Amino acid sequence: MTLQSARAQLELAVERTWSAIGELVLITLEDQPTAGSLAVADALAEQISEIQGDLAGVRSELADRTDLVEALPAVMAGLDDAALRYWQRVRAHGPTAQLRDATRRLGGSWPGWRRSVEQSAQRCEQPFTQTAAALQVCCQEICELVRSTPYDQLRRTS
């Protein structure tokens, strides 16, 4: 694999994650029942919007920079932030249990909405995993380039 093909793989994986989170945003915000209001649902929607913001920053870095090595620190930070927020604030037991309890208490169409949100959140897992794997491939390709570059050339460029 080349660095160019690794970057293409990363860009594709980021777009798939962006799309999956976009679906989750729509379900969380647009499909939310109008009867009543849940603070826990609003908090979840805010976290998902933050994930979308993290991914928007990653997409922007990849689009704005032709040199992946220059873009990589910001890309890695954005993906780390998005993944951490996804696992801790959306998929973790605490937020999930709070949402289940609150929607069960409120009843009506809230439990059905919650199930849709949980299913959509689960569909984000594979894109996040694929994005992490693609990022790893990029790092491996960069390391391979450094390893194959003669030491005296590396010293002259630093």
The residue range of the domain holding 20 is 3-157
- What's the confidence (pLDDT) of residue 111? 96
Question: With 70 as the cut, is the pLDDT of residue 134 above it?
Answer: yes
Q: Which residues contact 108 (CB under 8 A, 6 or more apart)?
A: 33, 35, 36
- What's the confidence (pLDDT) of residue 148? 86
Question: Identity (one letter) of the amino acid at 22?
Answer: G
- What's the confidence (pLDDT) of residue 100? 97
Number of domains, the chain: 1
Mean pLDDT of 118-144: 97
Are the beta carbons of 44 and 90 closer than 8 angstroms?
yes
Task: Return the CATH number at 73.
Answer: 1.20.120
Q: What sign does the dihedral 14-17-23-25 (CA atoms) show? A: negative
Identify the band that residue 158 occupies on the pLDDT scale cut at 50, 70 and 90: very low
> Tens digit of pLDDT for each residue in 16-55?
999 999 999 999 999 999 887 889 999 999 999 999 999 9
- What's the confidence (pLDDT) of residue 155? 55
Question: With 90 as the cut, is the pLDDT of residue 147 above it?
Answer: no
